[in-house]
Structure 1
Amino acid sequence: MARRTPLLRQQIQRALRPHQTPRLLALGVLASLPVTPLQAAEQNMQWHCKPAGDSWACDEKPAPGPAYKRPPHSTPPPQSGPRSTRGLSAAEIDWVAEEDLTPEQLAAMPAGCCGSYIAPERSDSEATLDPEAAPLRAEADSSRWLQQNTAVLQGDVKLTQGYRQLQADRAELDKASNTGTLSGNILLREPGVLITSERAAMDMDTGAAELEDASYLLHEAHLRGASARVQMTPEKVLTLEDGSFTRCEPDGNAWSLHSAELTLDPNIGEGWGKHVRLHVAGVPVFYTPYLRFPIGDQRKSGFLFPSISSSDNGGVDLSVPYYLNLAPNYDMTLTPRFISDRGEMLETELRHMSTHFDTVVSAAWLADDSGGDDQDLEDLIDDGVITEEEAYPFRGQDRWLLGVEQQGGRQARWFTEIDYTAVSDVDYFRDLGTTSLEVNSTSQLKKYGTAGYRGEHWLLQAEATEYQKLWDDAEQQYKQLPRLTLDGHYRMPSDFELQLDHDFTAFDHRDKDRDGLITGERLRVDYALTWDQRWMWGFFRPGVKLKHLSYSLDDEYLQAGANDTPSFTVPQGSLDTGLFFEREGDLFGNGYVQTFEPRLFYFYSDRENQDELINVGTGRLRTVDFDTNDLTFGYSQLFRDSRFSGSDRIDDDNRLSVGLTSRFIDSSTGIERLSASVGQVFYHDDRAIAIDLTEAQALAQAENQRSNSDYAAQISARLGKYLRFNSEVMWDADNSDRVSRGNVSLRYLDEQYRIFNLSYRYDRIPPLPSDPTDLDGDGILNEEIEQSIEQGDFSFVWPIAGDWNAIGRANYDFTHQRELETLIGVEYNDCCYRVRLVARKWLDNANANVLESLDLEEDRGIFLEFQLKGMGSIGSKVSGILSDGIVGYEQRDNGIQ
């Protein structure tokens, strides 16, 4: 609830301490007031003061001779600003245009602004003193006694007490209560706060003040506003009657918040108000009887700014989050959500931080989903293309999400990690979460948990992993419940390294009974001894390994006679060596160092027949292949000791990898300007070990008979301070014109967060038959489905005029001649608000990147995000779409807040 501050005059009377030693009495101030030369000439009088109990005894006495000209203070009172500030608001007084800011101030200027609020600097010795510990210094054009305890200062009055400064046309200082009343062109300044007013009352001890017809400025929060009456507590909490505030620049009023009673507390970074109205361009657009809102980074319980959006299959989507700051180390956000075409929903997030654990728990619940209302689907239903059940498969169902993230063991040898997310159905994220293309192409949700201990030489870890499909036709992965690893590493004398790795995993599958899948347990042991010799001019690393693989398979779905405890042990040897050469040169007047780095990697692995793992099952997956796949070939694979990911196979190999890298390094900065590498593998024997022996693996088997690999090359370059170029290409060694796979990208991101991305990727993949039984008279397939991937991606965020930026992306599939995603939009970002308007078209299908024969659904939408700086945003899905689709956008978004 909002805290109602009592009237200031009553508060001042309660706050006064009658027995306090009068260090700051107004009458004592008058003893140091400068007297104008004209007055001195006429009266030839001087003040004489001496302590008298709890007060000062002062009177005027004639002085012989001419009036004494008072010397200046040893520390002259600072000036609060020229009198040209008369009639200006607090924001106008301290506003400094962008061209007048120092480099440091310019770096701290809020994004989109053309200036910043800068308080005048003070260099005097009392500038940082607490007012209660500092003397009160005064200046005025004239002064007089109104009563025995009241002094009146008139004309350009300036009062300074420590870090507090006051200006006014007239001031009355009451000696008894140590309070002051001021009028006319009042300016009150404290660190981080500036208030202007026409009438004010102030407690000179505590700094509590009441000001009428006021304008105010909070520098750090970048907030300004006005009020018929402002009450300021000693803690600088402002209570505004009939007040307003905004983060806009002094000459802008794009939005403002108005309230009958508004409280701003910069100490906790929060404000709250009663009968709050949001004005946009001066027009009221939103009302709430009560609202809490942030004005800084501090956490405080209360309603957060609501979010509203609209979509084709959900209708109007309204969320009103409520934040609970339960304790310094944990909090919760509850978000009631109404989706007009689906129903009521509740989302929550609980965050907890302790000495050893950081935990986030998320949950969401939608009861009895109404299913949405998509007009395109309704047309298909009317045409009889699909049924209503097919169009709305989750209508009438409860839909939910549960997520847990935890990191444990901060600065400790033991550690834990949990990354668990579960949803009610495969379309949860597409229907109720974000609609980005990245989420649409995610096929599995990983549910992972681990706990372990890091010793000096050993790492002990226990893991559990499970997956949830997000595509109906995706292949469900095996569970790993549990996986136990024990890895040892020793650095021995004479630079010998000993690696002792142990891995035990139990594999299970939720569909094992339905599909007759093989399950069981696997033990993998890898021991390695390496002599690691490194010098400035090169390195030499010979090593020997022993790899052991054994299983205990459940025989329920094994073929008759299949071995349920296959076991394999394979010795291996390797030699990794390279040289470093350098030469200095000069290019376009810039010195550089060029390196020449040849590298050889020889690897030998004995062949042990592992056919006992292939075609031994009775179900859909007949091969023992729990977590293993062929690695995609590239330059980084030249120097690996396995061509497989996972642990279900041990290589047979006899090969030599040759690589060459050259780098160009700027001599003055040490920045690597260019790096280029090329290499190839030469095989001395055919490879017999494979994951599968089905027809689909025929090409892979042929690949294992080659005597050399494709050429692999990669290039990275810094073409300027902000421009990056990267490329990786693989091409056929027997046909240099035939590119097997490649990608190239050009990325630009500068300090002004201008973005330009251009990329292209190609992957040659053999086509799939549309129907293997459909052959013509020559035994040739009538139709094939092209699988090769050839895509281009272009995106940008670029200023077009003033604070306007253009946003765009085009992701095109050249293989099937179709658009994967196209969006174009504009962004307006100034000092107080930001608007993004994006029109988007995309293929809403998880397999859109691969198969042409699928019935792909093309979605269109217009997305709007309206963000009030310092308040909140409407339509936050736009940020997710742009962050997923445009490389560098998330970095830009974080940088311009």
Structure 2
Amino acid sequence: MFALPPRRLSAITLALLAVHAFAEETPPESPIHLEADEAVAHSRTEAEAHGNVVIQRDTTEVRSEWAQYNSETDHLKAGDAVTMTREGDVLTGNSLDYYINANRGTLENPDYHVAQGVARADAVKLLFDGPDRYKMRTARFTTCPVGRDDWYLHASTLSLDYANNVGMAYNGWIQFYGVPILYSPWMNFPLSGNRQTGFLAPSVSFDNRNGIDLQTPFYWNIAPNYDATFYPRYLADRGTMLGAEFRYLQPSYSGQIRADRISDHKDEQDRYSIAFLHQQQLLPRLSMYAQVQKVSDDDYFNDFGDQVAAASQTNLPRELTFNYAGNGWSGLARWQRYQTLQSESDPVDIPYARLPQLYYASSPQWIKGANISITSEYVDFSHPTKVDGQRMWINPTITYPLVQRPYAFVKPKIGVHASYYSLNDSETVEGENSSRVLPTFSLDSGLIFERDDTFNGQAYTQTLEPRAYYVYIPYKDQSNLPNFDSALTDFSLAQIFSENRFSGNDRINDANQITLALTTRFFDGDTGEERFNATVGQRFYFQDQRVTLDAYEKPSTAQESDLLITFGGRLWRNFVANYALQYNLKEQVTARADAGIGWSPGEGRAFNLRYVVNRNVSPIIEQFDISGQWPLTRNWYGVARYNYSLKDSRSLEALAGLEYNAGCWALRLAAQRYINDDSDTDPDQEKYTVTYFAMLELGGLVGLGSNPVSTLRQSIPGYTDMLTTNSIR
């Protein structure tokens, strides 16, 4: 044992002396660097320092008034205003008892500041429980900055395990502005965006369908590629719903299963929903896709889903599909049927089942420079009330570009569409076996002119693009053929440059027509971004259109189609405008128009206005829609949407809300009202759904209430979530 005389030494001298004293025995994994005003080495393994002590190893630094270190046990004691920094975390306290390599020990009366200052905590005692693991006794935790005590999580024991991304609080309760708002004997929360097992934030909402709606989901992180979520849900007016979802992911397959069930007190029946989805790569070129959806009754989504679910869930698929990708060809085999959800006021046509559907497509390279396509299909259609049977068709086509230049193109295309039907006994369709063979020809051509210019000192490039598209298909009577999957396509600029105005394969229009269109575009000369475009187009018929969708429809004798005009783009900074018009020149009336403007000058700032009229459908649609998000004061944001039917003089959807961002906590309030069941026979009996949202988010820790973010994103184009929070570390 030896001792140094008690005297002040420079930090550099003490650092070198400490390294020399501790290095003669088996050294630790990394050297210890010691700086202090005074130091005493009691042996080759023990040293003591006083005054402005700084001890460093790797990413750990300890500052204190005094310190004792044993290099053999790697044991450090320090006291009187200890400050410890570990990987950005800052811990202060009265006394430290710590084994450096093991990352174990205690810190008395700690204050804990998480790396980058996104969270902090204090406690009576802190226990180091291994790398990136802390336990605190009688602790408080918050993400509010120093000087703001808006909310705290209190716990008798608080565990922060950054290695496994989980925080746990035992006998925990949350205090918001001094008021306790939630207690739990055990709660856990994520420390980053990664997933973890535990209860998710409860969701509470209220609507006029179900009353109070409380959901307390539990998430089970089974493995990196498996998880499950359980959804116990209490609806005050209906009872308790039990739901669960299981997800799985493997290198060659993935999928999910979800099921919900409730004994509905209001409707006095058992109601349920089942959804199954599976995707799998069976072989390098063979894949499989399967899905099954089923609900107990037609009103399930109206009663238990949101507006999007109620509107979109009409035909629930049950299908099994196999896809094969060959060299230059592909094939598909599918078995498909649906559960169709009906509405008393708006009955839905039940689609045909395909049992099975076999599809083939190839692009052989038989002629250099030509684009050859061969597609074919076999389907066995089944329907409970309509004529059904089997349909086969093949459609080979060849396109040979005569001119293909940056400034011009001429592309003739020829093909044959051959179909054969084998029908079951039917009284509505003549004959059990029918066939149809139709040749098709089209010629697509266009020019592209460019010029460079400037406007208000800004360089731009303008194009002028005339285009002509001719189609010839001879007439063939198809009134004796069934209609399994054909419908009249929506008239648009995309449709007038297609051969067939019908979708599906049961109707092929006769055609002797030409489409003429003119497009101009303006591109930013510096960035190349398209700033504006405008197109005008019209189709001209050289003969009557005799093929109709149904036998009772009259052939069209029009010599020209409606005029189509579209224009729009980013006209100025963040201001976007678009307009589309379908105009009937013969009757001089607007058949359809869609006009919209959008302004988004920055995050949290969006304004949208849209007007739509469509006289091509029955009943006629005429609506306007206004929506937006805007800052009201420094921390308050307002959100709103109003969708109104001018034809019916009624609101279709109204939404309003407020969002408050305090930095370490946020509040969302919103209310939404929309039509749930539209009755044309008795408008007074329209059923509206009114839903109220309220969500309190406490930093990255927990959210209490029902979150309207998904609803706001669907309703307000350009909506920005201004209340997102960072992970706790």
Q: Given residue 636 of structure 2, which amino acid in structure 1 is its aligned partner?
A: W
Q: Given residue 675 of structure 1, which amino acid in structure 2 is its aligned partner?
A: N
| C-alpha RMSD of the superposition | 3.1
Structure 2 residue aligned with 1:35: 9
Pairing 1:580–2:448 present: yes
Identity between Structure 1 and Structure 2 (%): 27
Pairing 1:632–2:494 present: no
Pairing 1:345–2:241 present: yes
Structure 2 residue aligned with 1:552: 422
Structure 2 residue aligned with 1:792: 624
State how 1:222-233 maps to structure 2 within 5 Å. 222-233=118-129
In the TM superposition, residue 564 of structure 1 has moved relative to its aligned partner by 1.3
User: Are residues 878 and 634 of structure 1, via their aligned partners in 2, closer, same or farther at CA, if it must alter by over 3 Å?
Assistant: same
Could you report, residue by residue, the CA deviation over 1:662-705 in whole angstroms, capped at 9, with x for unpaired residues? 111112101001111111001001011111133xx45xx4xx21
C-alpha separation in 2, matches of 1:48 and 1:345: 67
Could you report, residue by residue, the CA deviation over 1:206-239 in whole angstroms, capped at 9, with x for unpaired residues? 3323111111123279332111111123312011
Structure 2 residue aligned with 1:688: 546
Q: Given residue 226 of structure 1, which amino acid in structure 2 is its aligned partner?
A: D
In the TM superposition, residue 853 of structure 1 has moved relative to its aligned partner by 5.1
Structure 1 residue aligned with 2:331: 460
Could you report, residue by residue, the CA deviation over 1:500-522 in whole angstroms, capped at 9, with x for unpaired residues? 1011111112x42xxxx211111
Q: Given residue 803 of structure 1, which amino acid in structure 2 is its aligned partner?
A: N
Could you report, residue by residue, the CA deviation over 1:142-178 in whole angstroms, capped at 9, with x for unpaired residues? 3346799653322222112122111112222235533
C-alpha separation in 2, matches of 1:501 and 1:766: 33
- Segments of structure 2 that go 5 or more residues without pairing to the other structure are none
In the TM superposition, residue 251 of structure 1 has moved relative to its aligned partner by 3.3
Q: Given residue 884 of structure 1, which amino acid in structure 2 is its aligned partner?
A: Q
Structure 1 residue aligned with 2:396: 527
Structure 2 residue aligned with 1:866: 696
Structure 2 residue aligned with 1:451: 322
Asked if 1 retains the 8 angstrom alpha-carbon contact of 2:19 and 2:31, the reply is no
Question: Which structure would you say has the larger Rg?
Answer: 1
Q: Given residue 827 of structure 1, which amino acid in structure 2 is its aligned partner?
A: E
Structure 2 residue aligned with 1:725: 577
In the TM superposition, residue 854 of structure 1 has moved relative to its aligned partner by 7.5
In the TM superposition, residue 292 of structure 1 has moved relative to its aligned partner by 2.1
Pairing 1:567–2:435 present: yes
Asked if 2 retains the 8 angstrom alpha-carbon contact of 1:246 and 1:257, the reply is yes
Which has more helix, going by share of residues? 1
In the TM superposition, residue 766 of structure 1 has moved relative to its aligned partner by 7.0
Asked if 1 retains the 8 angstrom alpha-carbon contact of 2:2 and 2:43, the reply is no
Q: Given residue 387 of structure 2, which amino acid in structure 1 is its aligned partner?
A: I
Could you report, residue by residue, the CA deviation over 1:792-829 in whole angstroms, capped at 9, with x for unpaired residues? 11111111112210010010101111111112110112
Structure 2 residue aligned with 1:752: 603
User: Are residues 711 and 749 of structure 1, via their aligned partners in 2, closer, same or farther at CA, if it must alter by over 3 Å?
Assistant: same
C-alpha separation in 2, matches of 1:155 and 1:316: 63
Pairing 1:885–2:715 present: yes
Structure 2 residue aligned with 1:876: 706
User: Are residues 564 and 500 of structure 1, via their aligned partners in 2, closer, same or farther at CA, if it must alter by over 3 Å?
Assistant: same
In the TM superposition, residue 538 of structure 1 has moved relative to its aligned partner by 1.4
In the TM superposition, residue 651 of structure 1 has moved relative to its aligned partner by 1.4
Could you report, residue by residue, the CA deviation over 1:730-770 in whole angstroms, capped at 9, with x for unpaired residues? 1112355x211110222334552422221111111476xxx
Pairing 1:601–2:463 present: no
C-alpha separation in 2, matches of 1:329 and 1:48: 49
SS of residue matched to 1:882: helix
- Give aligned pairs, total: 721
Pairing 1:173–2:69 present: yes
C-alpha separation in 2, matches of 1:454 and 1:876: 45
State how 1:185-264 maps to structure 2 within 5 Å. 185-219=81-115, 222-264=118-160
User: Are residues 893 and 487 of structure 1, via their aligned partners in 2, closer, same or farther at CA, if it must alter by over 3 Å?
Assistant: farther
In the TM superposition, residue 565 of structure 1 has moved relative to its aligned partner by 1.1
Which residue of the other structure, out of 693, 698, 706, is the alignment partner of 2:558?
706
Asked if 2 retains the 8 angstrom alpha-carbon contact of 1:678 and 1:714, the reply is yes
In the TM superposition, residue 485 of structure 1 has moved relative to its aligned partner by 0.2
User: Are residues 795 and 589 of structure 1, via their aligned partners in 2, closer, same or farther at CA, if it must alter by over 3 Å?
Assistant: same
SS of residue matched to 2:494: helix
Pairing 1:542–2:400 present: no
SS of residue matched to 2:274: strand
Structure 2 residue aligned with 1:408: 280
User: Are residues 149 and 494 of structure 1, via their aligned partners in 2, closer, same or farther at CA, if it must alter by over 3 Å?
Assistant: closer
Asked if 2 retains the 8 angstrom alpha-carbon contact of 1:459 and 1:487, the reply is yes
User: Are residues 788 and 865 of structure 1, via their aligned partners in 2, closer, same or farther at CA, if it must alter by over 3 Å?
Assistant: same
SS of residue matched to 2:652: strand
C-alpha separation in 2, matches of 1:348 and 1:749: 39
Which residue of the other structure, out of 355, 363, 369, is the alignment partner of 1:481?
355
Structure 2 residue aligned with 1:364: 260
User: Are residues 496 and 566 of structure 1, via their aligned partners in 2, closer, same or farther at CA, if it must alter by over 3 Å?
Assistant: same
Asked if 1 retains the 8 angstrom alpha-carbon contact of 2:25 and 2:44, the reply is no
In the TM superposition, residue 320 of structure 1 has moved relative to its aligned partner by 2.1
State how 1:776-787 maps to structure 2 within 5 Å. 787=619
* Bigger mean CA offset, 803-812 vs 134-143: 134-143
Q: Given residue 225 of structure 1, which amino acid in structure 2 is its aligned partner?
A: A
C-alpha separation in 2, matches of 1:49 and 1:671: 62
C-alpha separation in 1, matches of 2:18 and 2:512: 106
Which has more strand, going by share of residues? 2
Structure 2 residue aligned with 1:427: 299
In the TM superposition, residue 580 of structure 1 has moved relative to its aligned partner by 1.1
C-alpha separation in 1, matches of 2:110 and 2:271: 52
C-alpha separation in 2, matches of 1:49 and 1:726: 73
In the TM superposition, residue 447 of structure 1 has moved relative to its aligned partner by 3.7
SS of residue matched to 1:635: coil
Asked if 1 retains the 8 angstrom alpha-carbon contact of 2:22 and 2:44, the reply is no
Could you report, residue by residue, the CA deviation over 1:10-29 in whole angstroms, capped at 9, with x for unpaired residues? xxxxxxxxxxxxxxxx999x
User: Are residues 492 and 53 of structure 1, via their aligned partners in 2, closer, same or farther at CA, if it must alter by over 3 Å?
Assistant: closer
In the TM superposition, residue 543 of structure 1 has moved relative to its aligned partner by 1.1
In the TM superposition, residue 868 of structure 1 has moved relative to its aligned partner by 2.9
Structure 1 residue aligned with 2:530: 672
Q: Given residue 874 of structure 1, which amino acid in structure 2 is its aligned partner?
A: L
Could you report, residue by residue, the CA deviation over 1:104-130 in whole angstroms, capped at 9, with x for unpaired residues? xxxxxxxxxxxxxxxxxxxxxxxxxxx
C-alpha separation in 2, matches of 1:870 and 1:525: 58
User: Are residues 245 and 492 of structure 1, via their aligned partners in 2, closer, same or farther at CA, if it must alter by over 3 Å?
Assistant: farther
Structure 2 residue aligned with 1:377: none
Q: Given residue 666 of structure 2, which amino acid in structure 1 is its aligned partner?
A: R
C-alpha separation in 2, matches of 1:891 and 1:575: 49
User: Are residues 445 and 886 of structure 1, via their aligned partners in 2, closer, same or farther at CA, if it must alter by over 3 Å?
Assistant: farther
- Segments of structure 1 that go 5 or more residues without pairing to the other structure are 1-25, 41-45, 57-130, 372-394, 614-623, 768-786
Asked if 2 retains the 8 angstrom alpha-carbon contact of 1:268 and 1:296, the reply is no
C-alpha separation in 2, matches of 1:685 and 1:714: 27
Asked if 1 retains the 8 angstrom alpha-carbon contact of 2:666 and 2:723, the reply is no
Asked if 2 retains the 8 angstrom alpha-carbon contact of 1:268 and 1:299, the reply is no
* Bigger mean CA offset, 857-866 vs 292-301: 857-866
Asked if 1 retains the 8 angstrom alpha-carbon contact of 2:416 and 2:440, the reply is yes
Asked if 1 retains the 8 angstrom alpha-carbon contact of 2:671 and 2:691, the reply is yes
Asked if 2 retains the 8 angstrom alpha-carbon contact of 1:293 and 1:305, the reply is no
Could you report, residue by residue, the CA deviation over 1:846-894 in whole angstroms, capped at 9, with x for unpaired residues? x47x888573123444321223332343343523332332223378788
SS of residue matched to 2:444: strand
C-alpha separation in 1, matches of 2:287 and 2:44: 74
Asked if 2 retains the 8 angstrom alpha-carbon contact of 1:306 and 1:321, the reply is yes
